[in-house]
């Protein structure tokens, strides 16, 4: 019986120790990889490219549901055709393309990740509407 215990201690204890060391190393590698993927180190050029890609693909996606012939109408859409504005400290963007106005809410920073908006609102400005003149101001009666 004593020999069985000695055998177990000599053989099984080192196996358990080696297995636990391998698990710790794998967990550490996983954590490092996750940190690397969640916190990418991007150049300004890469951030600009991600942002432009996200904006153009978002507008294409939104307008493909609204236009009767989106392939033809959006064939030449480029980032230079868009006006964008981002309130500081948010992932909300206001975009203008021709007579369409969009509000996009992104789940993550669209400069860092290629992503789609989690929420979108699209408005179409009627022809001839002057937003500077106060579209719905009541006229005063004398």
Alpha carbons 8 and 2: distance in angstroms, whole number: 10
- Work out the pLDDT band at 14, boundaries 50, 70, 90: low
Q: Exposure string (b/e) for 114-140, b if CB count within 10 Å is 16 or more?
A: ebebeebebeeeeeeeeeeeeeeeeee
Percent of the chain surpassing pLDDT 70: 77
CA distance linking residue 98 with residue 125, whole number of Å: 9
Phi, psi dihedrals of residue 106, rounded to the nearest 5°: -100, 145
Distance CA 35, CA 41 (A): 11
Residue 99 has pLDDT above 60, yes or no: yes
pLDDT of amino acid 142: 53
The mean pLDDT value for 18-44 works out to 80
- The mean of the pLDDT values for the chain is 84
pTM for the whole structure: 0.67
37-92 confidence digits (pLDDT tens)? 887 788 999 999 999 999 999 999 999 998 888 888 898 999 999 999 999 999 99
pLDDT of residue 22 exceeding 70: no
């Amino acid at each position: 019986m004593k020999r069985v215990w000695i055998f177990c201690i000599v053989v099984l204890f080192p196996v358990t120790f080696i297995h636990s060391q391998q698990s710790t190393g794998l967990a550490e590698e996983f954590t490092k990889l996750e940190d690397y993927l969640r916190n990418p180190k991007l150049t300004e050029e890469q951030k600009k490219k991600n942002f432009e890609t996200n904006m153009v693909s978002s507008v294409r996606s939104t307008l493909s549901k609204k236009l009767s012939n989106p392939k033809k109408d959006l064939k030449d859409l480029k980032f230079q055709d868009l006006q964008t504005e981002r309130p500081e400290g948010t992932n909300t963007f206001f975009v203008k393309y021709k007579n369409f106005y969009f509000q996009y809410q992104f789940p993550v920073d669209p400069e860092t990740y290629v992503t789609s908006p989690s929420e979108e609102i699209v408005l179409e400005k009627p022809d001839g509407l002057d937003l500077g003149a106060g579209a719905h101001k009541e006229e005063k009666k004398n």
